[in-house]
Amino acid sequence: MSAPHAVSALSALTVLFALAACSAPAPPPGDTVQVFKSRGAVQCGARGTPPEAMRAELERAGLRVRSATCGSDGRMRAAVCGAGTDEINVFEIAASDLARAQGLGLTPLAPARDAQVVPCR
């Protein structure tokens, strides 16, 4: 093999090893993760999308939703008609669906500092 080809092959291998090192291992099939999305509720107005309706939307998009409930994002807001609320919908999904869920606008619950599951109002 000539020197330019050897360098090229070595560069390709280096890139492949770097990519393999950066990718996380696939989670076991039984693992789940909690994700959330704003209900879209508005103070003095619309209650937003209930968890079961949003669950149906997510399932139509191909997510495997194990459970759906209500939550709070834990952030304070000014009490003003027309402003958003802290209400979120929380879903337990297969961990292998996390990337797809994030592409649909959902956020993992665990790293969210103040978000939590609360009874539906």
pLDDT at 9: 44
pLDDT in tens, 20-67: 333 333 445 569 999 999 999 999 999 999 999 999 999 999 999 999
Average pLDDT along the chain = 82
Measure the CA–CA gap between 116 and 48, rounded to whole angstroms.
18
Does the pTM surpass 0.75? The reply is no
Token code pair at residue 83: 């402003």
Contacts of 87 (CB under 8 A, 6+ apart): 38, 39, 41, 48, 70, 71, 72, 73, 121
Measure the CA–CA gap between 87 and 48, rounded to whole angstroms.
9
Q: How confident is the model at residue 111 (pLDDT cuts 50, 70, 90)?
A: confident
Residue 84 predicted with pLDDT over 50:
yes
pLDDT at 107: 94
